[in-house]
Amino acid sequence: MILGIGVDLLRLPRMSLLIAKRGREGLARRILSEEEYSVFKEKFPTVPSLDQVQQERQLMFLAKRWCIKEAAYKALFPICKLQWKQVTVSKIQGKPVLHIENGKAYGVKSSHVSLSHDGDYVIAQVLLEG
């Protein structure tokens, strides 16, 4: 049985503004779970300044997770109003995988994630089964 379907579309300049406003560390700490934050710190160690390529990779890392988490929130609402850190995104064989903290308590048995990006946009779709 499908519990919900969520979709989110994010324009990368919006994410850039959030990073500029909160700082990379501030935004990462706000939206990433502990597991995701550890991966973030490993991939992007704190240095005085990142080169352009590293900045773009960091932007995409945060944008993809933001987008997937928003889609997961929409898929589970109104059963539950998820918090940012309740959702962890990881990869298995290059494919995004979703883990929702206490997901079984909300009736989630499995999840499916589709993610794409092109130009200034990232889009994610999450389907939750119960």
Q: Residue 50: its pLDDT value, please? A: 72
Helical residues (DSSP H) of the chain, grouped into ranges:
12-22, 24-31, 34-43, 52-76
| Higher local confidence (pLDDT), 55 or 84 | 84
Instruction: Give me the numbers of helices (H) and strands (E) for the chain, helices first please.
Output: 4, 5
pLDDT score of 48:
67
- pLDDT at residue number 54: 87
109 confidence band (pLDDT: 50, 70, 90): very high
Which residue, among 113, 58, 116, has the nearest Cα to 89 in the 3D structure? 113
Tens digits of residue pLDDT in 32-77: 999 999 999 999 887 667 788 888 999 999 999 999 999 999 999 9
Provide the CA 98 distance to its chain's centre, in angstroms: 9
